[in-house]
Chains A and B, each alone.
Chain A
Amino acid sequence: MADLRALEPGEHVCCLYRDDHERQRVAGGFARQTLAAGERLIYISRDRTIPQAVSLLEGEGVATDLPRHSGQLVMVDFDEVYGPLEAAGPAAVVTQFRRAAETCRADGFPGLRVATEMGDVASTLGPFEHLLRWERTTSRAQGEMGITTICQYDNSKLAPSQAKLLAAEHTSVATSGAPPPLASFLATTEPWGLKVVGDVDLSNRATFLRALRARLAGRTELCLDLAELRFIDVTSLGGIYEEASKLPPGCRLCLRNVPELVHRVLAIAGFGPGHVEMCS
């Protein structure tokens, strides 16, 4: 059973949904956890239009506007990515995954997750064995590349034995969503940076700093928007200053919309200002 809150990079999750409600909870939960990790999500729609898929995510409380604008959430159509299924085959998928993983790092994300609506893939591919081979090939490739994925299958269109075989080609099966994460780390592009929505403490400090490092990589300036930061502990705040202190000369990290709580901690913590600046 997959716990969406604790997915390992490269995990290949199967969702055999029985109704739309279950699908929304699992797909929405997967999306929320991606944003909570500050990673990129590519959502590949097949049996829904992109606007329908967007409302599915929003129905589960995923804010999509900023992530879509920054490229943290990419919504694409299955055929657009892979071309006609009959011609594509698993090799095309592996090629696409590799390309996506490469651009993901360059775009300032610490990791990549992919959610795919499998829709009629099973019937289009012909014999069921073809689908299993497809899953097996992509599973190995994405595992090696550290891409975490979730495949959404309509359980009512599968025989019970097929569902079992399909589940066996994945590393885990998700049957439920996940409670809202403590915080989301949303990429911003104008200005380049990261927006923190929620709380940062011991439970998500490492994830936060990993997202911050990915946004900082190769950049000379980063804006950390704290307008929707509700809590941060002293050590996590110190972590921001520590990351900034590693920046080369001429680079800077700006704190924007700094809440009172942060001012209060900074007044007594005595973190060396280093490359950190306050911006309005």
Chain B
Amino acid sequence: MSAPAPAPVSAHRALVYTDEAELVAQVCNFLQEGADNGERLGVALGPEKLASVRSRLGRRAELVEFADGGSVPRRHGHALRALVEYLSTPGPAQRRTRIVTEQGLAQRSPAEVRDYLRVEAAATEVYRTFGVSVLCPYDASCLPEDVVMDCLRAHPELLQGGQVVASPYFEGPLKFIVSHSAVVNPPVWAPSFGCDSSESLSVARIFLKDQAQAAGLGEDTTTDLVLAATEMLSNAIVHGRAPRRVWVYREGANLVCHVHDCGPGLAEPLAAYLPPAPEAAGGRGLWMARQMCDALEVASDETGTHVRFVLATPG
């Protein structure tokens, strides 16, 4: 990630709406403001909302790069990476970027929604680096109240009645992530494997593959589980303390993988959310694991550090 110079100006703004007409009007105003400043414009929304924005913009739509909901990656880590890649693509010199992005959350599991909000909080740091203005719409008509409240805590600014205001609930990325990460212990019946040395990693992979197959995961998703768990166990072996153990179990439609060690955990909690520098060969374990699963949570308690990630199972 290379920061453009001089010090860029960024904005990370939430738009809580209840009807689509309101959303479309606000999005178009936001884009128009950017167009007036000669900014580069990008929009990622569900297909219907996208069509409405496009038609309202009329000829001005030519100035905007559109990504419909289908092309936005479902996994939050993957979506953030795609956005970082977009922001890293060199545009015309000195042009600022302005983005609207909404992830459909209504159909997601609670674990995925919670993770999305943590990613949102951390993204404020990413946007600051790139000097980009981002508008994040949240549909209050179908999202639970606590999710809307968390959206207000995760965003430094709100777009309210066409006015930009500082969010009175904003907590800052670090505080938000720490207060929104909790230890969820695996159930007592969950199969597990103790993995205290690097020599045990290959046996752990056999355990993980067996569990993935028993849960009916496809080949690619099994590979994701094995890769992500290997990264987390390797981290636990290098940075954590014995005993270290991995559990795999089903939770509703998800398969959960839980890695525990007795070490103090991450010195920098944001590291689980932010992309590493491209030239760094190490230190990308958590970032990579995040790309390979549907939600990832790191939390500590008096027993040590817990990394918990989930993968959606077929059917």
- How far, in Å, is B237 (CB) from chain A's closest CB? 6
Residue B241 at the chain A interface, CB threshold 8 Å: no
Given A235-B234, A261-B223, the answer on whether A268 and B292 have CB atoms closer than 8 Å is yes
Contact B227 A261 (CB under 8 A): yes
Number of chain B residues close to chain A: CB under 8 A: 29
Given A202-B198, A203-B198, A268-B81, the answer on whether A231 and B234 have CB atoms closer than 8 Å is no
Q: Is the interface of A mostly helix, strand, loop or mixed?
A: helix
Contact A270 B81 (CB under 8 A): yes
Contacts of A202 in B (CB 8 A): 198, 201, 234, 237-238
| Chain A positions 232-261 with a Cβ under 8 Å from a chain B Cβ | 233-235, 238-239, 241-242, 245, 260-261
Contact A238 B231 (CB under 8 A): no
How many cross-chain pairs have Cβ atoms below 8 Å apart between A and B?
68
Q: Which of A201, A269, A272 contacts B230 (CB 8 A)?
A: A201
Contact A242 B281 (CB under 8 A): yes
Residue B285 at the chain A interface, CB threshold 8 Å: yes
Indicate with 1 or 0, residue by residue over B276-301, a CB within 8 angstroms of chain A CB atoms: 00110110110010011000000000
Contact A238 B282 (CB under 8 A): yes
What CA separation (Å) do A264 and B291 show in the bound complex? 11
Residue B18 at the chain A interface, CB threshold 8 Å: no
What CA separation (Å) do A242 and B281 show in the bound complex? 6
Contact B285 A231 (CB under 8 A): no
- How far, in Å, is B288 (CB) from chain A's closest CB? 5
Contact A264 B220 (CB under 8 A): yes
Contacts of A269 in B (CB 8 A): 284, 288
Residue A182 at the chain B interface, CB threshold 8 Å: yes
Q: Which of A182, A241, A260 contacts B281 (CB 8 A)?
A: A241
Which of A231, A235, A238 is the most central at the interface, judged by chain B CB atoms within 10 Å of its CB?
A235
Identify 6 new A-B residue pairs, CB closer than 8 A, beyond the known A234-B231, A264-B220, A271-B281: A199-B205, A201-B201, A201-B230, A235-B281, A264-B224, A269-B284
Q: Which residues from chain A sit less than 8 Å from chain B, CB to CB?
A: 182, 199, 201-203, 231, 233-235, 238-239, 241-242, 245, 260-261, 264-265, 268-272
13 interchain pairs (CB within 8 A)? A201-B234, A203-B197, A203-B199, A203-B201, A231-B202, A231-B226, A233-B227, A233-B231, A235-B282, A261-B223, A264-B223, A269-B288, A271-B278
